[in-house]
Amino acid sequence: MSRENLKILTLAATIGFSVAVTTLLFRYYSNKNNSLSSFDVDENNTATPKPTPTPTSNPTPSTSSTNNDVNQGQKKQQQSQPQPQVLDIEELIAKCGFCRPEMTDSNKESPNNSISTYHRHYFLCTGIPSEEWPAKLYSATPLLESFQQVMKKYENNPRKNQVVNGSDIPPANKDTLDVIIFPEMVKLVGLTPDTMEKALQYFQDNDTIDLSNFPSEIQVEQLNGKYIFICTHKQKDQRCGYCGPILVDQLRDQINQRGLEKEIQVFGTSHVGGHKYAGNVLVFPPGNWYGYVTPDDVSSIIDSTISGEVIQKLHRGTMGTEIPKKEKSNKH
């Protein structure tokens, strides 16, 4: 290669690098603005973390578990280093842990009826580890963005109020999404935005899935057992980001110890609403939402998942039941 060519190559590489850096910075800042304007960010949440410019560079989380708050916290802290804005460990535990004032206050608000009436819950299987979810989950990949466009069109289902959230469940294929739907207890496998649109259209006209007229190009898998989803959306709220992964680990541990791993599966979910109730735990079927869940509640969550009995003191509401409207203060 001649000297001249080498020079041109070097110049081209330099320009390429600068463009990449500028694009990254631009995406970081536009993402940051979007997430503030279009999500119901808790204004009072002093613990909201700054978005990380390179969220995908985090290592895959270890799912090993310790029962110790401090160790857990330090582990999480190390994973998200180096970030100048990260709270120090004591601050993090005080503001986001299981003993934060909003949980220990004897006059704390009851979690009862702190969700809205709804009848169907979709969980997108993103396969993305929860600590990498940006505050606006759908901005994580172009595929999720196009799903969001489709879902927006069908936001209002005339038959059933519905909720769509993300999960860290891996899809069968990385170029498509799988979607889990309750109360139908099915997984739609290998969806593209087009076939997702067909499924949503179908639900506009049908109350539940009848395989004889469900779009035949969509693969439907019937699910068994129980599913527990825990809000672990750290970049949306540090309380969920701190409490969620600890509860995921501890539930999985105890479920394994009790030999229930075939019956109960535990996953992380994106923001479900109600940060102040973190740990937020959702049990399907039937779709019981629990708030203020701590490691002390893990064994009763498992018991109640098996028995079907509701834990009253933690109960936020149940999918498919009429929830009386509450004061505005319960929005978050």
Q: Which residues bind ligand NAG (CB under 6 A)?
A: 44, 110, 112-113, 137, 163-166, 202, 205-206, 210, 213, 270-273, 312, 324, 329
Q: Which of 74/139 has CB closer to ligand NAG?
A: 139
Q: Which of 66/161 has CB closer to ligand NAG?
A: 161
> Minimum CB separation from ligand NAG for residue 240, in Å?
11
> Minimum CB separation from ligand NAG for residue 63, in Å?
22
How far is the C-alpha of 100 from the C-alpha of 59, rounded, in Å?
A: 28
Closest CA to 270 of 172, 164, 139: 164
Q: Which of 72/292 has CB closer to ligand NAG?
A: 292
> Minimum CB separation from ligand NAG for residue 22, in Å?
28
HSE toward the beta carbon, residue 33, CA cutoff 13 A: 5
Residue 315 main-chain phi, psi, to 5 deg: -70, 125
How far is the C-alpha of 252 from the C-alpha of 243, rounded, in Å?
A: 14
Q: Which of 83/110 has CB closer to ligand NAG?
A: 110
Beta strands in 62-182 (DSSP E): 120-125, 162-167, 177-182
Number of neighbours of residue 152 by Cβ within 10 angstroms: 10
Number of neighbours of residue 103 by Cβ within 10 angstroms: 19
> Minimum CB separation from ligand NAG for residue 141, in Å?
13
> Minimum CB separation from ligand NAG for residue 202, in Å?
5
Quick check: 243 and 98 in contact, CB under 8 A?
yes
> Minimum CB separation from ligand NAG for residue 64, in Å?
27
Length of the chain: 332
Q: Which of 175/210 has CB closer to ligand NAG?
A: 210
> Minimum CB separation from ligand NAG for residue 148, in Å?
8
Q: Which of 115/255 has CB closer to ligand NAG?
A: 115
Q: Which of 3/328 has CB closer to ligand NAG?
A: 328
Beta pairing class for 288-290 and 315-318 = antiparallel
HSE toward the beta carbon, residue 131, CA cutoff 13 A: 21
Beta pairing class for 120-125 and 162-167 = parallel
Q: Which of 72/166 has CB closer to ligand NAG?
A: 166
- CA–CA–CA angle 84, 89, 91 (5° rounding): 90
| Structure-token pair, residue 3 | 């000297």
> Minimum CB separation from ligand NAG for residue 257, in Å?
29
